[in-house]
Structure 1
Amino acid sequence: MTYEDLKKRIEQIKDPGFDKPFKEVNGIKKLVIGPTGVAELEIYLKDKSKHEQQVKIEIIKLVKIELGFPGIKIDFFESEFVPEGEKLIRYLAIASGKGGVGKSTVTANLAAAMIRKGKKVGIIDADVYGASIPNILKIDVKPLSSTEDEKMIPLVKDGIEVISTEFFMPPEKPLMWRGPMLGKMLVHFFSGVKWQDDVDLILIDLPPGTGDVALDVKTYVPRSKVLVVTTPHRNASHVAVKAGIGAQTIGHEVIGVVENMSYYLNTCNNKREFIFGSGGGEEVAKKLGVKVFGQVPIGQPQNGDYLYTEKDSAGKIYDEIAVQVMKEMEME
């Protein structure tokens, strides 16, 4: 049994999600036969959470029992294959180095701006310990319904679809899970949700820093890109650079920087007051080799809500950020 023979046999195995053989859906990412005869495989699956075990058993039976190889090691990843006629879902992770820079608020307002631009948008609230997207959007939390194939149907507010750990926890009860439990939840968030048809963009509200969730996103959504949020203050920008470099190190493309709380517009003299200093956004962008997409001032929407409208000055800035995001995500 040669390498080519083994590859041809594995290529004939079907991805149950597509109901097509791996050869037709680019399902084999890596195939190596080591010096001891052990086969190492990396496989793309459309629905990793649902079909990984089934496909794993099928491959092991073929390689070890039928073909007689001494051993096999298999890693599974989410498929990047898009069938002809289907639309590619784009993912943009919103990251920050530290908490308190307004990352979730930026995520929600960017989603609202994308809606104003005529795009269909969803949010994965992956900041599992500090989930705040439902509160920002003022979503009426209720049990989720599901499709016939057991995929969760997100809740919707103002056209924005949302999936969050807040939907699965009693009100005001803290989430106290270790890493493995978080991983299982994220698998459901990334492969067990039925988003609206023709959704254009899924925003991923990451927790601060470079921990498990940021690393898991690369596994579940290899093609996702990253937008970094910071404030002008040196402490925030210093750590935001680390978050951006961390994203680049594991293979994410950082597309830009948003500087939040950039200044306060004093209505008495119509001058900008830089309460948290200045230059943080530019520093982060320079070190990451990207642009500053926008500088959002300190303030509150005129309606007293968390979301700005196109009538608010900050809302217009978010509209400009959205245009740049669409360009970088090839959505124009």
Structure 2
Amino acid sequence: MQYLDFEQPIADLEKKIKELSELSVADDEVLSPEIKRLEKRVDELRESIFTNLTRWQRVQLARHPERPYTLDYIYKITENFVEIHGDRYHSDDKAIVGGFATIDGQSVVIMGHQKGRDTESRQYRRFGMANPEGYRKAHRLMKLGEKFDIPVITLLDTPGAYPGLEAEERGQAEAIAKNLKMMATLKVPIITVVIGEGASGGAIGIGMGNEVYMMENTWYSVISPESCSSILWKTWDYKEQAAAVLKLTAEDLEGMDIIDGIIKEPLGGAHRGPDQAAKAVKEQILESLKRLKKKSSEKLVESRIDKYANMGEFKKVSNNK
């Protein structure tokens, strides 16, 4: 298990517990009370730390290298998953995965950003940063869902769309914009869950849902804290301050009515209990499907457009002096 910097006190205690557990003592009663005392202290410390996280600490948790990714959730919550490859234009983007599956017998189209676990797979997946063909593959999948009247589920976890020159040459902005236009009028339910990072157009490019949820330790923003710090202060050193003012956590966005709810995670993050986290995601998806399937296609489109049109605040300023 990898520990983040703010988890170091927990790591130190758990290391001590492990060392005591490995000692050979004839009378186990000598060490047992001390081990139990330290285990209780670990539980108390974990509760204290994870109920008082800063926004930057939640960003760190969203990026934890052991956190479940899209394919982990797909294999845990669905049956009969059949992956669809390629955009029928250029190639198959490995940063976005998706296909057809069932969830408790309910057919769905499910897709999301996929990161890698090691150096080789991270390069293969480009850290979850999609090229235009990734968004065009997603477009193809969503339209297939509409054709066969199958709900669409999208899982967001990306630091942003791929910023390379080749992506711009192949129409990155156009591919994302086309997806937004298509999703606004898609005639089947769209359920979106932020399972990790939700950065900028790279996330919203597959994230315009009828209902949008965030897992407890995730973030969703127009810009990452590091990039915001770089623009405002010309250095990444103020990323923690940037995270604070961006208000990018699930709690922040629920308070601004940008998302529809928060999916609880195991104490310590989804990576501490991936099965428990997957169960919570599955329950929310099934609950949303039950509700949205009662709506007509016209009502789904109307409510989705209204949802995004009503976000934010504006004022009309008179020019009269």
TM-score of the superposed pair, with normalisation by structure 2: 0.34
- Give the structure with the higher percent helix: 2
Question: Which has the higher relative contact order, 1 or 2, with Cα contacts under 8 A spaced 6 or more apart?
Answer: 1
Question: Could you say which structure has the higher strand fraction?
Answer: 1
Query: TM-score, normalising length from structure 1?
Result: 0.33
